Amino acid sequence: MAAPRALPFIRPSPKIEGSAARGGSLILVEPLVTVDHTILQDFSRALTLEWLETDGLGGYASSSVLGINTRRYHGLLVAAAKPPVDRILLLAKIEETVTFGTSPFLLSANCYPDTVHPHGHRHLELFRLDPWPIFTYRLGEAVMDKHCFMVHGEPTTVVAYHLREAREPADVHLRFMVGFRGHHDLTREDATRAAMMRREDGLTVLESPVGMPSLFLAHTGERVDVSDFWYHQLTYPREEERGLANEEDLYSPLAFVGRMEPGSWLTVVASAQPPGAVEREALMDAERERRSKLVRPAVSRPCEILSHAASRFIVQRGPEGASVIAGYPWFTDWGRDAMISIPGLTLATGQYPLARSILETYAGPLADGLLPNYFPDDGTSPSYDSVDAALWHIVAAHHYIEATGDEAFLKDRLGEACRTILSAYEAGTPSAIRMDADGLLSAGEPGSHLTWIDGKVDGVVITPRHGKPVEVNALWYNALRIGADFAQRLGWAREAKQWAALADRVQGRFDETFWYEEGGYCYDLVRGEERDASLRPYQVFALSLPYPLLDEPRRVSVLAVVTAHLLTPMGLRTLSPFDPSYRGRHGKTPWEQDAAYHQGTVWAYLMGPYIDAYLAVHGDGPNSRAHARRLLAPLLDHLDEACVGSVSEFFDGDPPHAPQGCIAQAWSLAELLRVLTRLEG
């Protein structure tokens, strides 16, 4: 493995001179992430770099570091109409023109078919997360900063312009491009979609013509320009790469106009609800204060960056409590992802009340012992098509109790949830999840997709895994051991004895059922007399979970085989590259992409259990930890690409392992933060 390059985000940040920076405009000595002028002027490279802000309700703001929207999902305000789902793009972007005397500077840039216009990105000198996105523009002899952040707990985005250096005042013209569409959709010019505008208590309110939330706009400018028109054929390069429609028209109903003196600020607040007073300084101070509490004292710089990013995935699911958005921009909250992410997103950062709230959110709607797999984006009832989500809940509960010693919560909630799950799995569920006579867990029927890798395209299951998947039975064994421990603590003598005995039985059957002697690793799936010897990474959970399986020689062998065939700098491949079904690239059409999803794609989150397995096999000493840190270095480098400061969903199986999928994935980041915290502990 090549030596890791120096991490750009730990370079000393450029010294920023200029007029006062008090009251919210204070620039941190060292921004979380810095993208300098050299990178910004490399258009092709900079266009691949994105940023993300979230509001804690499921809404978000996102774009490229150049300010060019490259996805249909990009926008300054995407609000959750039914938090944390049903997300609506309200404000797509702001077209800014800053004029000194008779010299206008256009800060904006858009992609159109075969061209980019205007060329505001050429004025961009610096982008940084400090702790939110800040764009620095050099406009002749003047310097202007643009801050963009969301207010936590509100569907609100603040865009604040600071004329940091100038010899004369500037006239500023801010034109708004609105969407009023679902964030998965695209729009075309249609007179019936023109928003109705009204003035209300100093606000400009745009009412959706199609029954979506209204957009409330407030600003510290001087007047409103009510001329309106459409922007046609805006194109989104990332959508084209995904093989999807990539053009739309956006409506612009108005512009705000103001004048800025040197050193002054002009602030815009966009919200899906009536915002309070436009108090930029107070809003900035409150957000900086909140974000400063997300990081434990004396952590490393990478842990600080990851801790800030971790908070973006935690959302409030109505009165139920906290939940976890699986990935931005298009996923909602998923049970499996939430449970796997709890140790990294909350326990590693000391956010114990959030961990408790997430566990409670998902324990509440248990049905037939199953945990909600995901909550649909339209706000309808959750789906329960997962065999492992409930087992991951028990594992997450174990980590929570180990970290907090919260015996009261174990007694009041977690113990009963564990009993419900284990009892249902032992007796059998309506989803064909059942314990077989050998004590191992079987799940699903032909055509079903109950495990994480049961991808389905046009009704065809690409990787059918009904039967006995290896990771499900590793989880089943761990759930039984954890359940026995919980029962012992709670004084449930009968359950403690029953689950411990069943765990012993599973342990004895696991080796003889799943061990593939010829290959020196575990079968991925057992179905009757069938044995699937596809070399996949899910067997690492038999080594990495709190209660490992297999004897020591077999653990060593599994780790060696997985290392030789599946380990990459960005995580573990989902299939050996020597397998005829292996796909090394994500593909250019939706069908190709879905078909490759678990047939060679590299998943970053699997680096977490791999390192746990490595330390379990080789010991948790200084040399092993040093090796593990070297393994993490490429993923830390990744914080400077794709969605800066975060971790992508997955990567191509073949070098150079290009990032793919969601720009920010909860369990990818959570597992990186968890193991990094472990190594630094």
Q: Per residue in 323-334, pLDDT tens? A: 999 999 999 999
Are both 260 and 330 inside the same structural domain?
no
What's the pTM value of the predicted model, to 2 decimals?
A: 0.93
Task: Give the model's pLDDT for residue 574.
Answer: 96
CA angle 92, 94, 100 (to 5 degrees): 170
Task: Give pLDDT tens digits for 589-623.
Answer: 877 887 788 899 999 999 999 999 999 999 999 99
**Which class for 229: exposed (0-12), middle (13-18), buried (19 or more C-beta within 10 A)?**
exposed
Instruction: Answer with the residue of higher pLDDT: 298 or 269.
Output: 269
* pLDDT digit string, tens, across residues 443-452: 988 877 788 8
Q: Does residue 413 fall inside a structural domain?
A: yes
Nearest to 559 by CA among 570, 621, 548: 548
Percent of the chain with pLDDT over 70: 95
Question: What would the pLDDT profile of 163-174 be if each residue is shown by its tens digit?
Answer: 999 999 999 999
Write out the two tokens for 126: 């610096």
**The pLDDT value given to residue 514:** 98
Helix, strand, or coil (residue 114): coil
> Which domain does 657 fall in, by range?
566-681
Would you call 146 helix, strand, or coil by DSSP? Answer: strand
Q: Which segments of 444-492 does DSSP mark as H helices, in order?
A: 470-490
In a shared domain, residues 197 and 136: yes
Tell me which of 395, 428, 461 is where a domain ends: 428
Q: Do 357 and 219 fall within a single domain?
A: no
Distance, CA of 639 to CA of 302 (rounded, Å) = 9
Are 43 and 184 contained in the same domain? yes
Nearest-CA neighbor of 160 among 37, 76, 36?
A: 76
Residue 469 near residue 489, CB atoms below 8 Å? no
Q: What percent of the chain has pLDDT over 90?
A: 82
Helix (H) or strand (E) holding 51: strand 50-54
The predicted structure's pLDDT at residue 379: 73
464 Cβ contact list (under 8 Å, min separation 6):
446, 447, 454
What is the number of domains present in the chain? 3
Residue 478 lies in a domain: no
For residues 453 and 525, the answer to whether their CB atoms sit within 8 Å is: no
Domain identity same for 239 and 356: no
Rounded Cα distance between 582 and 413, Å, is: 43
Q: Residues with Cβ < 8 Å from 23, sequence gap 6 or more?
A: 281, 284, 285
Two tokens, residue 349: 């950062």
The answer to the question of residue 381 being in a domain is: yes
Place of tokens 């480098």: 637
Q: Which residues contact 679 (CB under 8 A, 6 or more apart)?
A: 611, 625, 628, 629, 632
pLDDT tens-place string over residues 102-121: 999 999 999 999 999 999 99
- Separation CA 614–CA 55 (nearest Å): 37
Dist CA 602 CA 577 (whole Å)? 11
Write the DSSP assignment of 554-607 as a string of letters: HHHHHHHHHHHHTEETTEEESS-TTSTT---S--SSHHHHHHHTTTT-EEGGGH
Of 115-129, 220-234, 362-376, 456-470, the range with the highest mean pLDDT is: 115-129
Q: What is the mean pLDDT of residues 114-134?
A: 96
Residues in the chain: 681
CA–CA dist 629, 266 (Å, integer):
45
Return the amino acid letter for 589.
T
* Separation CA 49–CA 72 (nearest Å): 15
Domain assignment present for residue 201? The answer is: yes
Instruction: Reply yes or no on whether the pLDDT at 19 is more than 80.
Output: no
Same domain flag for 307 and 412: yes
Tell me the one-letter amino acid at 61: A
| pLDDT beyond 60 at 3 | no
Q: Name the more confident of 331 and 462.
A: 331
Evaluate whether 114 touches 107 at the Cβ level (below 8 Å). no
pLDDT in tens, 64-96: 999 999 999 999 999 999 999 999 999 999 999
Residue in 169, 167, 168, 121 with CA at minimum distance from that of residue 146 = 121
Query: Position of tokens 């109790």?
Result: 401
Chain centroid, CA 590 distance in Å: 21
Q: Are 336 and 328 in contact (CB under 8 A)?
A: no
**Within-domain flag for 458:** no
Strands 327-328, 664-665: pairing kind? antiparallel
What's the average model confidence in pLDDT over 344-349? 97
Q: What is the CATH number of the domain that holds 34?
A: 2.70.98
DSSP bridge partners of 269? 158, 218
pLDDT score for 377: 77
Q: What is the pLDDT of residue 455?
A: 65
pLDDT category at 18 given cuts 50, 70, 90 is very low
pLDDT, one tens digit per residue, over 276-310 is: 778 899 999 999 999 999 998 878 999 999 999 99
Q: Are residues 127 and 237 in the same domain?
A: yes
- Cβ(466)–Cβ(443) below 8 Å: yes
What does R_g of the chain's alpha carbons equal in angstroms? 26
What is the SS3 string spanning 291-344? HHCCCCCCCCHHHHHHHHHHHHHEEEEHHHEEEEECEECCCCEEHHHHHHHHHH
361 Cβ contact list (under 8 Å, min separation 6): 317, 320, 321, 322, 323
Name every residue whose Cβ is closer than 8 Å to that of residue 348 and which is 6 or more positions away in sequence.
Answer: 307, 310, 670, 673, 674, 677
* Mean predicted lDDT score pLDDT of the chain: 92
Same-domain pairing of 313 and 417: yes
pLDDT of 96 reads 98
Instruction: Identify which of 58, 593, 55, 72 has the alpha carbon closest to the alpha carbon of residue 378.
Output: 58
267 and 315 share a domain?
no
- Residue 180 backbone class (left: φ over 0; alpha: ψ -120 to 50; beta: rest): left
Is 581 part of any domain?
A: yes
Which residue, 382, 398, 428, sits at the end of a domain? 428
407 Cβ contact list (under 8 Å, min separation 6): 401, 489
Average pLDDT over residues 484-507: 98
User: Would 498 be classed as within a structural domain?
Assistant: no
Same domain, 148 and 37: yes
Three-class SS state of 378 = coil
Do 89 and 234 sit in the same domain of this protein? yes
Q: Are residues 138 and 246 both part of a single domain?
A: yes
Please report which confidence band the pLDDT of residue 406 belongs to, taking 50, 70 and 90 as the band edges.
Answer: very high
137-193 pLDDT tens trace:
999 999 999 999 999 999 999 999 999 999 999 999 999 999 999 999 999 998 777
pLDDT higher than threshold 60 for residue 275: yes
Please, are residues 162 and 261 in contact by the beta-carbon 8 Å criterion?
no
**CA 300, CA 676: separation in Å to the nearest integer?**
9
Nearest-angstrom CA–CA distance, 498 and 148: 56
Do 53 and 270 touch, CB atoms closer than 8 A? Answer: no
Domain boundary among 259, 274, 289: 274
Instruction: Say if 133 falls within a structural domain.
Output: yes
